[in-house]
Amino acid sequence: MTVHSIFYGANGHNNEGGAYDISSPALQLSQLQDLGVKMYRNEVFSAYGATKLAGIATTMAAGGVTVYPVMLMDLNYSSEADAYNAAFTLGQQTATAYRYPYYEVSNELEALCLTGNVDGIYPQHYDNAKFQIARGVIRGMIAGVKSVDTAGKIVMGGGAWMHYGFDQMLANGTQPDGTTNHPIVSWDITAWHWYSDQGDIVNACGGTGCHNVLAALAQFNKPIWINEFGVRPSYGTDTQTANYLVGNLMMAEFVLLARQYNIQSIQTYELYDDPVGGEGPYGLMQNDGRTIKPKYTAFKNFVAANPM
């Protein structure tokens, strides 16, 4: 473990409204401080959003919480070059609005490149054309950020489940079609996502068998951030989801394995429940931005008992 103070984090959606518009940045800061959270991940997908998040980051930084952006784009481009150019602009806008210590380049793009219901550990599990567009997005974001801020660290956009074959191709310049000598993408931190329906991150089982996802990610020789982890709302009662969140397949396991796999940060999904019609009540608090849930108390107590 090279850095300790950023270990516990949370996800927010200050550019998506709902409770995040109801609750001021100052109120959010006080809640994050109460929880023991030091990292706050939020999305950016436009120049306006970049400016808005910059203001929130300033407020949070003064209170000891580091905000960092995850830049969001889709694959609706006609070529890798077009994707690169659009992503360059977003990366440049984001870094111009605020000098962040970390910039996350995309979010679960690998899932959009899969050929179907596959595990994602092999190159042939990905569509070649979609992979090239995704590579253009990621390369463009990195170049756009670096054109403004050479010091900021690049977080490879969080992947999910067993989809680490995607990052492996980016790192070694290969493609799903088996060809080589393509642009090699380099980054500073490998991000990953893990949810309750996926089971044990070091013994994840799918159609190709069971795999140690952390061991695969550790082969990149970079710090690992589990920058989304959470319990599916369908798992059970509020108390049951709270117990799972801090239990032996989630926070307790991440802390236990942090040194072995260089897990530098874990970031709960999310601070507030989504509004009706959103992805569901994943939050530590209800979507009024004020009412705490059992998960809030469980998370707070776990962090206090397990300083990292």
Q: What CA–CA distance (Å, rounded) separates 73 from 107?
A: 8
Q: What CA–CA distance (Å, rounded) separates 8 from 43?
A: 18
Contact in structure between 71 and 141 (CB atoms under 8 Å):
yes
- What is the DSSP code string of 66-106? EEEEEE---S--SSHHHHHHHHHHHHHHHHHH---SEEEE-
Query: Domain extents for the chain?
Result: 8-305
Q: What CA–CA distance (Å, rounded) separates 121 from 119?
A: 6
Q: What CA–CA distance (Å, rounded) separates 97 from 123?
A: 37
Q: What CA–CA distance (Å, rounded) separates 251 from 232?
A: 15
Q: What CA–CA distance (Å, rounded) separates 242 from 282?
A: 11
pLDDT of res. 219: 98
**5: helix, strand or coil:** coil
DSSP annotation of 272: B
Q: Which residue has the tokens 């463009």?
A: 140
Closest CA to 266 of 274, 275, 257: 257
Q: What CA–CA distance (Å, rounded) separates 275 from 144?
A: 33
Residue type, 271: L
Q: Copy the structure tokens of residue 282.
A: 């994943």
How would you write the pLDDT of the chain (308 residues) with one tens digit per residue? 334 489 999 999 999 989 999 999 999 999 999 999 999 999 999 999 999 999 999 999 999 999 999 999 999 999 999 999 999 999 999 999 999 999 999 999 999 999 999 999 999 999 999 999 999 999 999 999 999 999 999 999 999 999 999 999 999 999 999 999 999 999 999 999 999 999 999 999 999 999 999 999 999 999 999 999 999 999 999 999 999 999 999 999 999 999 999 999 999 999 999 998 899 999 999 999 999 999 999 999 999 999 99
Residue type, 72: L
Predicted model pTM = 0.97
CA trace torsion 168, 171, 175, 180 (10° rounding) = -130
Partners of 11 in beta bridges: 41
Closest CA to 191 of 249, 297, 252, 265: 265
Q: What CA–CA distance (Å, rounded) separates 214 from 297?
A: 28
Q: What CA–CA distance (Å, rounded) separates 248 from 98?
A: 38
pLDDT of res. 192: 98
The CATH number that domain 8-305 falls under is: 3.20.20.80
